[in-house]
Structure 1
Amino acid sequence: MAELLVIRHAQASFGADNYDQLSDLGHQQSELAGEALRTSGWVPDRLVTGSLTRQHETLASMGFAEPPEQHAGLNEYDFHDLLSVRFQGNVPDPVRHDRKTHFRTLRETILEWQAGGLAGARESWKQFSDRVENARRFSTDTTARRVLVISSGGPIGELVKASLGAPDAQMMALNLQVKNTSWTRFFFNASTFLLHEFNATPHFSTPDRAKMLTFS
């Protein structure tokens, strides 16, 4: 079967006015991920990303200069919008700037969203899950044997959840575990889509690199 390797973007700029760009550490993480991929001998013959800057910057810093194909279904859900809807446009400062508070609140918000709440959000839970599935079909409708995808934590959690037939709530439990530049690998053919590896970071396996591991 063919392989779909989905890598989460590197560390973005948490708390900055423009989150959608890599931090200096994010560029270093990407370089290490690309180096590890080449060392393993895994050479992609198709590149796919979403349309987000942090996804494109990750691919470029990994050492892939050629323009990828794009599918917006690989983009993250708009957590800024979801939080704004939940707090009626007045998101508390700790939710915006304190990591622990942010991710605890985000989990609660996504579960509410999945249950049909947050009326007025730009995207419903069903629209999100449908577009991720469309992106999966797009990425696997190919004669390529090794497809490299750069995506985000939410879509990766949803891809894994769907491949296992797990409940919707499991998506967020998976989402919060996904490390920056981690590898999630699937095997696929025309009738099968199987999870083979989740959230691997071989490029951070040594003690000096372990401190470079991040989740946002």
Structure 2
Amino acid sequence: MPRSKNLFVDFDIDMQREDAYSGPFVFSLTPMGKPTLLELSQQYFDAADTLVESIKTQRIEDYKVAYPTLYLYRHSFELILKFITDSNENTHNLNTLTDNFIAYVSKHHNQTVPNWIKESLKELAKTDPTSTAFRYAEDKYNGKKQPPSSVDDVYVYVVNFQSRMNDLYKALYRVATYFAKTSTEQLIKEMAREVK
């Protein structure tokens, strides 16, 4: 494995590998390989799930990765909502993005987003509305003109949280990937059935 004095380097033929699990291990950040918001969302989600699996297999203590795990999950939802609504809006406000998603589904597909999806997104937004609470352990914007506020005194059952996040992400991922392929009405009905 070559060592470099630089953190970021140009492509080298020695970086080639047989598959995704053989070495050398290389992050490829290229314009051609730039992920879509959906793909990027999946990467953040997978990273969060990987941290939770590390907790469950006792490779790391839960308190050591609490905020990064919560942030990665939250950011994955921010990105997938922006992807679904094709939003160029420069906001990290999860309430705004959720409202945009609900309006988009209603306007463009004449459907209602199931309550469990709305409630789950709004619950995440309540704890970290502006995408700073999980990054900095306080809501730095807190209404933009207010002083920062800390995260409320809450606790998270990690395994339950992971399960809920997986249910929510699967539903939104299906929306993201099937709007163009499947009848929206059929899709929304399927999403509602899956949770019952």
Q: TM-score, normalised by structure 1?
A: 0.25
Greater Rg over alpha carbons, structure: 2
Structure with the higher fraction of residues in helix conformation: 2
TM-score of the superposition, structure 2-length normalised?
A: 0.27
- More RCO (CA 8 Å, sep 6+): 1
